[in-house]
Amino acid sequence: MLEIRHLSKTFFKGTPNENPALQDIDLTLQKGDFVTVIGSNGAGKSTLFNAIAGSFLCESGTILLDGEDITYQKEHKRARNISRIFQNPMVGTAPDLTIEENLALSFNGANKHAFARAVTKKDIAYFRSLLSTLDMGLEDRLKTKIGLLSGGQRQAVSLLMCTMTVPKLLLLDEHTAALDPVTAEKVLSLTSQIVKEKQITTMMITHNIQSALALGNRTIMLEHGKIVLDLKEEQRRNLDVAGLLKLYRELCGKELDNDRMLLTNE
């Protein structure tokens, strides 16, 4: 379970460029929740993820993960329980290592083995089994350097690496935004399948409102560092893009003016 209380972060405080990126954020996720996160550029989505992951400290507020206060915990310590996949497929894997070696790094690290430990036949069989679930033929390419894979293949492998050992929290930071529509749909489907099967508590940033409403069991919307919409499963059930835009207009008193969000829902 993730609990965030009164979390605030201001960049360039006390200067003409002062930017209140997060403003008194309150958010609670139950175990197994899959929350999609939407909002305009600069709304605070990635800043929220960075705060949770420990990329910086906030000036006020608390963050608890499964009851443990991680507010001041170092980023590398949080990474033991928080997995994250970024928008850029080049981030999160070692391009000059093979698929097998990348999976071994993740597997051995999660199980606290030294990387020098030899990869056993049992490990290889396990890796092949995992890769076969992707339906991309990668189970027959274990010795291929991961840098030679397509962006979609790399993101799919990253997804496996982040979930081989179930994390307490999975952060997906627009992990399909750099992919073509067909590949993005494939990776989103895999994401939904893995998260559901393993009951992983997940937050996913997306600019696609339609995907945000279709995936997971909850959608939150940020605006100027504040949560302006928090839609639970029953509230989202019959809500379409037009309905969400109407809610936004009623709550914020203005139209959503963000081409990227609107154009991805045609």
Helix H or strand E segment including 75:
helix 75-78
Lowest mean pLDDT segment, chosen from 29-33, 61-65, 104-108, 181-185: 104-108
Work out the average pLDDT over 64-93: 94
pLDDT of 212 higher than 60: yes
Nearest to 241 by CA among 217, 216, 262, 220: 262
pLDDT of residue 116: 46
pLDDT of 264 higher than 60: no
Work out the average pLDDT over 108-120: 61
DSSP state of 98: B
Work out the average pLDDT over 108-136: 78
Burial 190-223 (b: 16+ CB within 10 A, else e): bbbebbeeeebbbbbbbbbbebbbebbbbbbbbb
pLDDT of residue 251: 83
Structure tokens at 91: 């981030």
pTM of the predicted model, to two decimals?
A: 0.91
pLDDT in tens, 7-43: 999 999 889 999 999 999 999 999 999 999 999 888 9
- Residue type for 103, please? L
Q: Torsion over CA of 123, 124, 128 and 130, rounded to 10 degrees?
A: 20
- Token pair 């350097």 in the structure block, residue: 145
pLDDT of residue 111: 59
Show Cβ contacts of residue 253 under 8 Å, excluding neighbours closer than 6 positions. none
pLDDT of residue 266: 42
